[in-house]
């Protein structure tokens, strides 16, 4: 192992699921006495978190066209050769251009692309070139993500695509105080950026349906985004501004989960629904559309419910059922916690990554 240096390459400024994965895996490798380097943007959240862990960082600032700059490419080549990198794991499709080319020139034997989005890869000349001539292996975060890789073109051999589920640190979910349940009111939660993909407007429609059914409920939406004002206006239009609460940016998702009874995800797609796993880790049952990677996380009828795509009447039915059957609510939550312990821990993710890398 001493001759192997693992390099994570992620230039994203914002913090998301991919950045969390790179941070968790790099941190665990360091704790496991592996040689690790992370190449990231100096102004990124990932950079700041890595500094706290004292992980070796190589700061880089790149754009979508940086691969056309020979000076930037050669600087990266020089660094990779000097560091004697044996495996490089690249997070963003945009990073594949400069990181992939520099890695190929550096003769790195294992050039790995980690795909975290269940959206088909664009069938472009550059993508065909990259996946045929540069990338040696792919890590997909779910089976749903894996299926989209070759959806528009036969980009890559399927036997070289490995599914490794994301994981969470269950130590952060231990010894938490139970939430106070108001027996005649069910609290529904949703957590995520207020953007088109997350489709929180469906929650407003859900509130309208539940109010018409005379069910006592609250919907708490955590997160910030460009659609916030539009969503609030929709609440007023539908007459549910008293039933829907916007909590803004949530610093601690665990505290948020403890305030709710059931988590409802309305996303149009998910590479890997971290929030579903976090809800289950807090013994909270989950409901989501039967699309994308959701069926890989939710075990229908056992840890939560999967409903027909965009069918809010079905979600309302499940909410009403759980509001009237608190024992089932608790049962689903307990089953969800057990499923996380079995499949979705950060330790399980790390062990699978080590096997994949052969380290």
Q: Note the pTM of the prediction, 2 decimals.
A: 0.89
What is the pLDDT, as a whole number, of residue 65? 84
Residue-level pLDDT at 2: 54
pLDDT computed for residue 183 by the predictor: 62
Q: Which residue's entry shows tokens 């990259």?
A: 130
The predicted pLDDT at position 54 comes to 82
Residue 242 buriedness (CB in 10 A; 0-12 / 13-18 / 19+): exposed
Per-residue pLDDT of the chain (359 residues; tens, 9 = 90+): 456 999 999 999 888 889 999 999 999 999 999 999 999 999 999 999 999 888 899 998 888 888 888 999 999 999 999 999 999 999 988 899 999 999 999 999 999 999 998 889 999 999 999 999 999 999 999 999 999 999 999 989 999 999 999 999 998 886 454 454 556 799 999 999 999 999 999 999 999 999 999 999 999 999 999 999 999 999 999 999 999 999 999 888 899 998 999 999 999 999 899 999 999 999 999 999 999 999 999 999 999 999 999 999 999 999 999 999 999 999 999 999 999 999 999 999 999 999 999 99
Rounded-to-10 torsion of CA 19, 24, 30, 33: -130
Q: How far apart are CA 47 and CA 142, in angstroms?
A: 26
Residue 179 confidence (pLDDT): 53
Cα 21 to Cα 313: distance, rounded to the nearest angstrom: 35
Q: Please report, for the chain, the start and end positions of each structural domain, with discontinuous segments joined by +.
A: 5-167+345-357, 171-343
For domain 5-167+345-357, the CATH class is alpha beta
Per-residue model confidence (pLDDT) at position 321? 96
Is 171-343 in the same CATH topology as 5-167+345-357?
yes
* Fold of the domain built from segment(s) 171-343: Rossmann fold (3.40.50)
Return the residue matching tokens 């330790």: 347
Q: How far apart are CA 113 and CA 93, in angstroms?
A: 8
């Amino acid at each position: 192992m001493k001759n192997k240096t693992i390099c994570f390459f992620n230039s994203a400024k914002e913090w998301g699921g991919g950045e969390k994965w790179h941070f968790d895996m790099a941190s665990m490798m360091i704790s496991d006495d592996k040689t690790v380097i992370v190449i990231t943007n100096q102004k990124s959240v990932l950079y700041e978190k890595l500094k706290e862990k004292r992980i070796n960082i190589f700061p880089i600032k790149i754009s979508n066209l940086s691969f056309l700059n020979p000076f930037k490419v050669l600087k990266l080549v020089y660094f990779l050769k000097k560091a004697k990198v044996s495996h490089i794991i690249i997070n963003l499709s945009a990073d594949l251009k400069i990181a992939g080319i520099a890695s190929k020139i550096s003769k790195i034997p294992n050039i790995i692309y980690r795909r975290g989005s269940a959206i088909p890869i664009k069938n472009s000349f550059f993508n065909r070139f990259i996946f045929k001539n540069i990338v040696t292996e792919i890590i997909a975060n779910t089976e749903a993500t894996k299926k989209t890789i070759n959806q528009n073109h036969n980009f890559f051999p399927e036997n070289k695509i490995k599914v490794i589920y994301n994981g969470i640190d269950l130590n952060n979910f231990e010894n938490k105080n139970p939430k106070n349940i108001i027996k005649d009111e069910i609290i529904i939660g949703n957590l995520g950026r207020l953007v088109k993909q997350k489709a929180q407007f469906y929650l407003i429609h859900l509130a309208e349906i539940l109010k018409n059914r005379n069910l006592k409920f609250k919907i708490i939406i955590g997160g910030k985004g460009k659609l916030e004002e539009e969503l609030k206006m929709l609440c007023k239009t539908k007459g549910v501004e008293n039933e829907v609460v916007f909590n803004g940016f949530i610093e601690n998702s665990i505290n948020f989960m403890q305030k709710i009874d059931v988590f409802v995800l309305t996303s149009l797609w998910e590479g890997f629904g971290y929030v579903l796993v976090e809800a289950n880790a807090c013994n909270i049952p989950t409901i989501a559309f039967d699309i994308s990677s959701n069926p890989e996380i939710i075990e229908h009828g056992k840890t939560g419910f999967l409903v027909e795509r965009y069918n809010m009447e079905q979600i309302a039915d499940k909410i009403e059922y759980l509001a009237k059957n608190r024992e089932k609510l608790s049962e689903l939550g307990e089953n969800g916690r057990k499923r996380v312990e079995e499949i979705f821990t950060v330790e399980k993710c790390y062990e699978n990554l080590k096997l994949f890398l052969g380290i």
